[in-house]
Structure 1
Amino acid sequence: MSLYALGLCEAADDIRQGRISSAELVGACIDRVAEIDTEVQAWAFLDRDHALAQARALDDHRAHGRPLGPLHGVPIGIKDIFDTGDMPTELGSPIWAGRTPRRDAAAVARLREAGAVIMGKTVTTEYAYFHAGKTRNPHDPQRTPGGSSSGSAAAVAALMVPGAIGSQTNGSVIRPAAFCGVVGFKPTHGLVSRSGALELSRSFDHVGVFARSVEDAALLAEVMVGFDIEDPDTRPVARPPFATVAASEPPLPPRFAFVRSPVWDQAEPVMRDAFAELVDALGESVVEVELGESFGKVIDLHRLVMEVEMAHNLRRDYESGGEQLSPQLRQLIERGRAHSGVDYCAGLAGMRTFNDALDFVFDEYDAILTPSAPGEAPAIATTGNPAFCTTWTYLGTPSISLPLMRSEAGLPLGVQLVARRGNDARLLRTARWLVRTLAGGKPRAKAGTSSKRKGRQR
């Protein structure tokens, strides 16, 4: 196997055991970038010499017998909305071209503390919104990699780096992971600090990760979790053992609630057919559950709160450099400035109400099973529809996209699992079980696939 194809956990173990050096791994990844990134265009900034200098310093650290972090010597891609004190952070906008911050974002600092090599900055859409960047889908350059974490998802999928971080304010981790055919994990809101990252919407901004396995995603996310006084949504709690729990076997076979959700009419035929086969294969492990009719309001509530908060956070750039913003972003900001305070407060209050309404699902099922996106990656002109991510972003629940299916055209179709807030480690364990079960060809009996339960109406 080529070194650039190593998974994150495998690479970390090989470096720890001395089977390979960080410089060898980083060099192989850089060579892979040189080979393929002309077509994929996943990187906004990458300095070969700087990446190798980090790797050599970490190899010297190991050679002197010093303690090693869990990601020692492993290269990680950073979405270009996270500050990096040694590299530009340009937010996908010409307004911020050439900006180099003074210090790292909290998530980047924790990656460095874990021993990671900060390989470079991956492409983001403009201000992590809808206006696409230059990145192409590694499976088909005429299709979108999704957004806004386009470069991070594409870099992992194209084997240019074993892991990368991104962000999600609507569907910006789960959707590109689905389109590019990698694992994308969005932890519970507030678990990973967003200090030093572009703030769009305090209510909905999440830090997420991309990797090529559930175990890799668990380790990458775990090292970033923790309290940060500069992020008021983090809490002083013990770091959850994501990697250990994810690698363990569930005490009982998980049960899944198949939720079509109120946006099922936006699912394309290819996704409907694929989910019919998936539900059939899982048999009695899955039951279809209908959410209350009120969940149809969530998309509009999310949009309202996001638009208000983005209008506030981007007000300076809108007022001083609005002509350099894309029409989509200007229109969003203008809508946000027009919403009433009463409606905004109602949108915030709904998050608690709808989370409470999901208790009946999570009291009985380990995870919700639903699409990551309406279908396969669409043409490059769009970043795709985030509708199947919006509810779970609004609620702040942990979610993960798994590359379990493909269309007849050979393009990835993502399967999304969602769990109760705070149950991230169990979600990762359930996701690993699902991957291994389907890979092992162990379909369940078909009983129960057509049964339905209705959620409480609110």
Structure 2
Amino acid sequence: MLLHKVSLTEMMSRIHEPGYSPETVLDPYLERYRQVEPHIHAFVPEDEAEGRLDSEKALLQRTYSGDERKPALFGIPVGIKDLLHVDGLPTRAGSQLSAELLAGAQGSLVAKLRALGAVIAGKTVTEEFAYNGPIATLNPHNTGHTPGGSSAGSAAAVAAGLCPLTVGTQTLRSVIAPASFCGVVGFKPSYGRVPLDGVLLFSPSFDTVGFFTQNLPDMEAAAALLVPDWEAPAAPMPRKPVLGIPKGVYMELMSAEVKGLFGAQITGLEQLGYEVRYVQMPWEDELIYGNAMLRFIEGELAREHEHRFTEHRAEYGLPVQEAILRGQQIPEEELEQYRTRQRELRQDLMELMEQEGIDLWVSPAQGGTAPKNEERNTGWAGMPAVWGFAGVPTVSLPAATLEGMPLGFQCIGRYGEDEELLAWARQLWPCLAGEQPLPVE
């Protein structure tokens, strides 16, 4: 069985029990890793992984050998996408470039995890430089299907119950799509909310660190620890959120089956007293249907790799080579126009939400369920990308299945109001998770 329940909050609650030690969590983790990892390949292969974990356990034991109060994540394994630098582990970013060429300093997020007592379980698999390329990771729900990209390993590790928490990144869709495909919670904070130091960047105007857990309470606990200046509401939200659904081309970016399922979900929420408003959006159809966002990220990708690419072009995979060559032809003036439009759309969305009384935008997280591996498609940018362009916070909640494969329900909040996004989502969670079944025939 490749799926397994694992709860971050349950693990955290046991830390101060008598007799608790890092082995309490890590020994079962290693046993499950031996059983499951060969079937899903969520982690980058690592020589002497068990020896490294033994060293981390021993260090934790020495550091907290007395009666010192143990930190919040003491001994809990956390997977880190192989775009983030981790002291003691190489960064390869899914590429054939040498780890020495890509080496960099560990950033503040990983340092925070370690200060909280987390054990770095390993580096999780990513597509090459988070852009494109073959990946070994398979979907734990059905290994004949993709887990998504590019935070594939992070989502699959959580779905399989290897780790209760993993770190990913998103440029266009790389948190929301894998979360949807793997049936886990994926949270992409507001752009800039989590520092990007220690991250090998793809497109600095988009790139955002995100997180994966199996359920929403676990995500709220992780966010409170890891998102700077987190201030969760002191009490439950006093009313039901008003839900906004974009009019126009955006809601055509999905299969007929997904559209029918989402319509049934919305009908059910309305029957539970949720108000839904259909709103004309402040973006142009060509922003979604055209290639502007792709040109934007490829232009920035080319600039991020300018010095490496000149000397090491042959070591890059063909899709990344071609993207960088296209990006080199895009003038800086065009990129600056995109950046200006980003800031404008962010402001336009905030004003529109105020005018229309919208608390949350909602949509399917993806236009379909996980494609089969032979289709060589790791997801669709349509549903999450425009929100990433605007930099607003989004979360994918496991909400349904189609033909046995998961499909996420995406909630989108106001820029900078990540705490409110998760608090509103907490109200929807019981309905979507089946604890309060939607009254849909």
Normalised by the size of structure 1, how large is the TM-score?
0.88
CA contact (8 A) 1:258 1:286 kept: no
Distance 2:281 2:235 in 1: 34
AA matched with 1:391: V
Identical columns (%): 30
CA contact (8 A) 2:265 2:440 kept: no
Change (3 A) 1:218 1:19: farther
Match of 2:358 among 357, 365, 369: 365
Change (3 A) 1:59 1:7: farther
AA matched with 1:277: A
Distance 2:19 2:287 in 1: 50
CA contact (8 A) 1:84 1:101 kept: no
Distance 2:153 2:399 in 1: 21
Q: Which residue of 1 aligns with 2:326?
A: 335
Match of 2:411 among 398, 412, 417: 417
Distance 1:277 1:113 in 2: 45
Distance 1:18 1:146 in 2: 41
AA matched with 1:290: V
| Deviations, residues 260-312 of structure 1 (Å, cap 9, x unaligned) | 66333330122111101101100141424233373324344322221111110
Gaps of 5+ in 1: 227-238, 447-458
CA contact (8 A) 2:107 2:197 kept: yes
AA matched with 1:320: E
| Deviations, residues 352-403 of structure 1 (Å, cap 9, x unaligned) | 2212221344221221001111110002222121221110111110000000
Distance 1:255 1:60 in 2: 51
The question of 1:281 aligning with 2:268 is answered yes
CA contact (8 A) 1:132 1:382 kept: no
Q: Which residue of 2 aligns with 1:296?
A: 285
AA matched with 1:40: I
| Deviations, residues 186-240 of structure 1 (Å, cap 9, x unaligned) | 00111111111111111111000000111212222333333xxxxxxxxxxxx11
Q: Which residue of 1 aligns with 2:123?
A: 121
Change (3 A) 1:291 1:56: farther
Change (3 A) 1:108 1:371: same
Q: Which residue of 1 aligns with 2:230?
A: 240
AA matched with 1:435: W
CA contact (8 A) 1:186 1:207 kept: yes
CA contact (8 A) 2:104 2:198 kept: no
Distance 1:263 1:365 in 2: 17
SS in 2 for 1:285: coil
Change (3 A) 1:260 1:403: farther
Measured after TM superposition, the shift of residue 5 of structure 1 is: 3.7
Distance 2:235 2:75 in 1: 25
Q: Which residue of 2 aligns with 1:449?
A: none
SS in 1 for 2:78: strand
Match of 2:421 among 412, 427, 431: 427
AA matched with 1:249: P
CA contact (8 A) 2:350 2:415 kept: no
Distance 1:323 1:263 in 2: 38
CA RMSD, Structure 1 to Structure 2 (Å): 2.2
1:438-453 matches, within 5 Å, as: 438=432, 439-441=434-436, 443=438
Match of 1:255 among 239, 242, 250: 242
Measured after TM superposition, the shift of residue 248 of structure 1 is: 4.6
SS in 2 for 1:263: helix
Q: Which residue of 2 aligns with 1:391?
A: 386
Q: Which residue of 1 aligns with 2:67?
A: 65
Match of 1:374 among 350, 356, 367: 367
Normalised by the size of structure 2, how large is the TM-score?
0.91
Q: Which residue of 2 aligns with 1:406?
A: 401
Measured after TM superposition, the shift of residue 321 of structure 1 is: 1.8
CA contact (8 A) 1:258 1:369 kept: yes
Distance 2:140 2:435 in 1: 27
CA contact (8 A) 1:26 1:52 kept: no
Match of 2:308 among 310, 313, 317: 317
SS in 2 for 1:77: strand
CA contact (8 A) 1:256 1:368 kept: yes
SS in 2 for 1:72: coil
Distance 1:317 1:101 in 2: 12
Distance 2:166 2:440 in 1: 38
Match of 2:147 among 145, 149, 155: 145
CA contact (8 A) 1:304 1:347 kept: no
Change (3 A) 1:330 1:150: same
Q: Count how many residue pairs are aligned between Structure 1 and Structure 2.
A: 427
